[in-house]
Every structure is written in structure tokens, then in C-alpha cells.
Structure 1
Amino acid sequence: MIRLVDSVNDPGKGRNSEDRIGCDPRRGLAWVIDGATDVCATRLFPDAPTDAFWFAEQTDRLLRHTGGGTPLDMAAALIQGLREAVERQTESPVSAIPPGDMPSAALTVTRWNRASGTLSFGGFPDCTTLVRRPGADAIAIPKPVSDKDEQAQARRLLSDGSDINATLRRQRARMNRPDGYWVLSVHAEAVVGLNTHETSAEPGTRVLLCTDGFYRLVEMYGLYDDDGLFQAAEREGLASLIGRLRGFEADAADDIPFGRFKTSDDAAALLVELT
């Protein structure tokens, strides 16, 4: 069992949030999802606010009904469910979708097994998970290091006045390929790119899962280190941290110095305790 301590899902300025958070206390599950912002040439799901919104919503719904098993088992079932949902909605096979328009999302799922005393994780970049055992500092669950400096790329493209959507579509056409990057989408082969980790844990351990928009507090703005962020979340609450985050996201003129494509990104976080 797990206990929900706090949660927040705050949309970027003028947006519908494309992040999702979820918790199933009985199954010991918690997750965060970050839909990849639309750069598609043609909308796949025009009845939804955005394609990213639709894909994140479907992912969240499927996770609430996905069975047990290892993180790899869950990822395989989730990807198959997403493939079927996309084909139903578009009324065509996913092979008809241009590669650069394929929907995708970042994801982290954690599961607590009290009987074995293990905490398992499975994820696709780029969400962050912090764990704090009783009496110890918070530590980040390891995740793959990207070979691409996204902030440097944003600075360059914004400074050059490049067609950002076209550039990102070309990059996304390489998703879930050996010469590209791994991400949650509709490709069965993506399972081999799932980042998994398992660690021992005890009741009273707390876990903070967050999307990259929330983790800007650490990674982009340097306002906290991992333990400092965890302490602030417990002391001040997640909504208060959103207020501090948005204080750095009021002026689009700062986009180039910070290296951000979006002045104000969706930000979601979930704090749970193992019981």
C-alpha cells in the first residue's frame, strides 16, 4: 500500500495541461506522464485540445487498468493498449501516421511491494523520481543521460529564428529506433528502451515523482538540489513550489538565456509514502 501525501498538476500559461499524475494505493502504484508537445503537421485527434493532451489522457486511463507484472510487462501492455486506442480513434493503422507526427510521452511508474520490501521503477525520459528513506537525504533514481543538450539546442534554434516545429518533427521521426531515442509511443520495440530500476525500501519511505516542467526548479533554474527540493515539497507543499516556479516564467525574453522552447511548461508532481 501507498499513501498519497500531496499532488499538483499545473498547466503552462494559456494551456490545457498535457501532464497527468496517478496513484493506486491498493496496488502500490504511482505515476507521472508528460505528453510530448504537438509539433505535428496534421492533427490526429482534432476533438481534443491537443494531440499531446489526448495521448497523455489515454495513457493515464490505461495505467489505471493495467495488470500486474514487472515494469517491462506493464510497459508492453500499455504500448499495445495505446496502439489500439490510436487506431480506433484515427480509424487507420499506425503505419499510416507520418513518423514525425507520431504521438509520444515521457513516463515514470513506481510500484511498492511491501511483502518483498522492494520499490521498482520503469520509465521513458524525461521524468524524475526522488526517493527519501526515513532519516536520510533524498536521492534521484538513475536515468539514462541524454546525448543531446536540449537547452543548448533551444538557445540555438531560438536565436537563429529556425522553424522549431520542423526541426522537432525530424527528430521525432527517429523515436524508438536504434539511431534515435526511446520514448513511450505505439512501437512495441520501445520496451527494450524502458529504463528500469529496483531498490530496497521500508515503510515510511517517501517518493516524489515529477515531470520535467516541475523539475525545472532544479535542472534549469538551480533553485534547489534534489534533497532541497524534497525538503521544500514536504515543508511548503507542492502548490507553493509551483508559485515559485512560475515566478521565473513570466517573461518570454528569458527563453533564450534559459534555453527553453516554452516560457511556462506544464508542471506536475506527486508525493507518496510507502505504508
Structure 2
Amino acid sequence: MHLDLIQSLSLCGDPATPNDDRAGATAARAWVIDGATDLGPPGLLGDQGGAAWLAAVADVAFGATRSGTLADACACVFADVEARFLAERRREPVAAWELPSAAFVAVQLADGALEAAWAADCALLHRAGERVSWVTPVPDRARESADAAALGAGQTIRSPAVLADRRRARERVGRRVLGVKAAESGAVTSFASVAVAAGDALLLMSDGFSALVDAYGAYDAAGLFAAVEARGLAALAVELRAIEAADAACVRFPRFKASDDATALWVRVAG
């Protein structure tokens, strides 16, 4: 068996800032990476922000590694990220919140099964016939929405109060992210294996796209996959941005950015 890429999508949340998401697919592997929004100006890694830097480095590593299992491949990616960070950083970080980090989800075919790996809030849906199920945990924006609501409507990620709050959150113990220390990334990455067959489909998403489910309640899992297969990713992206534009002040749906980077891969198992 192999993976066929059907459609891909990656939208920046704001054209004035870089897209910190990356995605890729080969015949055997697919991945989505969502760099955590920078909470300070560039400088640690030169004139490029840490989120975009980490997402780009991990993206290249996922495409280049030829390791056997997905766990092996992830270990190679984590090691490459750490080595590149140590070689390319320009100074010590101001604080722990400045260290680049990212969410990710990756899949790989192996002997009639699908291996999956993830950290943080990137999501993976699997459709097998009429059954649609989450391989990753069900997306849950409750804590972030509550934090945003507590800080008040109209507060953006660059507002002093929000920036201070997000820096504190970034320094919480136990964050499950892809970071710049390989051992820590490996320790918090989750793995699963699911049986797949030719004709099954997969939807890999950053949280900016899965917001259609957990943040905005426009779809449940089955409804989202049905909409993707009936209308395509581009149509869902238009719907996503329309929901956000109608609540630009972030009142109905409390959040820290009016629109986030949104990335999705629609992949089919073939063989």
C-alpha cells in the first residue's frame, strides 16, 4: 500500500505575518507541523522567527529521513532539530518562552497498518468506510477559550496582558510539544497504530483548521470529513474564514487571534 495526496491547504492567519505551519507527504509518510506563535521579536535565530524556523527544519527532516518505523523517523527529526538549533542560534534565550516549539502530527504506512505520532494539538481523522474516528485525542479548545475570555474581548496576541499570559502558559511544566531538545520531544510524543485498508482516507490538520470542530462547532468529526470529501479543502477554508470574519472581535468565540494559520492534508490509502 501507499499514500496518495488528494488535496493540501495551508493558509496564513494574517498576510502581514509568516505562516508558521508546514506540511508534506510522500508515498509512505505524511505530516503537519504547527509552529507555536512567537512571543517576542526575532533574534534568537537571526531575523527569522523561531516558529517558522522550527516548522521549516522539522518539515525538511520529516521528508529526508529514511528510518524504518515512524518512531525511528521522529527520533531522527528531533535530533536534527536539536543539532540545527545548537548550530544556528545567535544567543541564549531571554527565557524559556522564547525557545521554539511546535505541534505536529505524522503518519506512516507499515505492514498493513498506519503508524501515527503527535504532540500538542495537531489532529488526525481516519475514515474507514462509513466510520470516521479520531486517531489523536478529540480537539479541545476549552482551556484556551476560557483563558482568552478571562482576558477580555478584543485582546490580541500582541496586547501586553495577553503576551504576558501566553508567556506564562508557554513556561508551564509538562507541555507536550516538539521542541529544540530531542530527549524532551521524544518523551512527550504519543504514538498509535491503526489497521487500514485501500480506500481509507486521512485528514491531518493544524488546530487552525480543526477549529471548525472544537472552536466554532460547525462540524463534528464525521461531518467535517464528509464536507471535505464533498466540497474540498478550499471550500472549507472559505467557510472557516467567514466564521472568523463574522466574529472579528473574538466575542462569540473567545480566542487570541482573529484567524490562525490553518493547514490540512487529505490523504488516501491506496494499494
TM over 0.5: yes
**Alpha-carbon deviations, 1:170-206, whole Å to 9, x = none?**
22223xxxx4221100121231211111011111111
> 1:72, 1:194 within 8 Å by CA — same for their partners in 2?
no
CA-CA distance at 1:216 after TM superposition: 0.9
Alignment of 1:108-187 (within 5 A): 108-113=105-110, 116-133=111-128, 135-143=129-137, 149-159=143-153, 163-174=161-172, 179-187=173-181
Q: Alignment partner for residue 189 of structure 1, among 184, 187, 190?
A: 184
How many equivalent residue pairs? 263
Moved more, 72-81 or 122-131: 72-81
> 1:107, 1:123 within 8 Å by CA — same for their partners in 2?
yes
CA distance in 1 between counterparts of 2:137 and 2:214 reads 14
Residue 256 of structure 1 aligns with which residue?
251
Identify if the C-alpha distance between structure 1 residues 213 and 221 changes in structure 2 by more than 3 Å, giving closer, same or farther.
same
CA-CA distance at 1:162 after TM superposition: 5.9
Residue 22 of structure 2 aligns with which residue?
20
Residue 198 of structure 2 aligns with which residue?
203
> 1:143, 1:195 within 8 Å by CA — same for their partners in 2?
no
CA distance in 2 between counterparts of 1:190 and 1:266 reads 22
> 1:8, 1:268 within 8 Å by CA — same for their partners in 2?
yes
Alignment of 1:67-146 (within 5 A): 67-91=66-90, 98-113=95-110, 116-133=111-128, 135-143=129-137
CA distance in 1 between counterparts of 2:65 and 2:138 reads 25
> 2:54, 2:102 within 8 Å by CA — same for their partners in 1?
yes
SS of the aligned residue for 2:14 comes to: coil
Residue 30 of structure 1 aligns with which residue?
30
CA distance in 1 between counterparts of 2:66 and 2:53 reads 22
SS of the aligned residue for 2:88 comes to: helix
Residue 230 of structure 1 aligns with which residue?
225
SS of the aligned residue for 2:64 comes to: coil
Structure 2 residues without counterparts, runs of 5 or longer = none
SS of the aligned residue for 2:191 comes to: strand
CA distance in 1 between counterparts of 2:234 and 2:212 reads 13
Moved more, 222-231 or 152-161: 152-161
Q: Which amino acid aligns with 1:152?
A: A
CA-CA distance at 1:83 after TM superposition: 1.1
Residue 6 of structure 1 aligns with which residue?
7
CA-CA distance at 1:264 after TM superposition: 0.8
TM-score by length of 1: 0.88
Percent identity over the alignment is: 34
Runs of 4+ in 1 over 6 A off after TM superposition: 144-148
CA distance in 2 between counterparts of 1:205 and 1:131 reads 7
CA distance in 2 between counterparts of 1:189 and 1:247 reads 38
CA distance in 2 between counterparts of 1:86 and 1:189 reads 14
Q: Which amino acid aligns with 1:120?
A: E
CA distance in 2 between counterparts of 1:147 and 1:212 reads 9
Identify if the C-alpha distance between structure 1 residues 252 and 194 changes in structure 2 by more than 3 Å, giving closer, same or farther.
same
> 1:144, 1:195 within 8 Å by CA — same for their partners in 2?
no
> 2:46, 2:89 within 8 Å by CA — same for their partners in 1?
no
**Alpha-carbon deviations, 1:123-163, whole Å to 9, x = none?**
00111100011x22211114288797111011112358762
CA distance in 1 between counterparts of 2:151 and 2:184 reads 31
SS of the aligned residue for 1:258 comes to: coil
CA distance in 1 between counterparts of 2:171 and 2:42 reads 14
CA distance in 1 between counterparts of 2:152 and 2:68 reads 44
Residue 39 of structure 2 aligns with which residue?
39
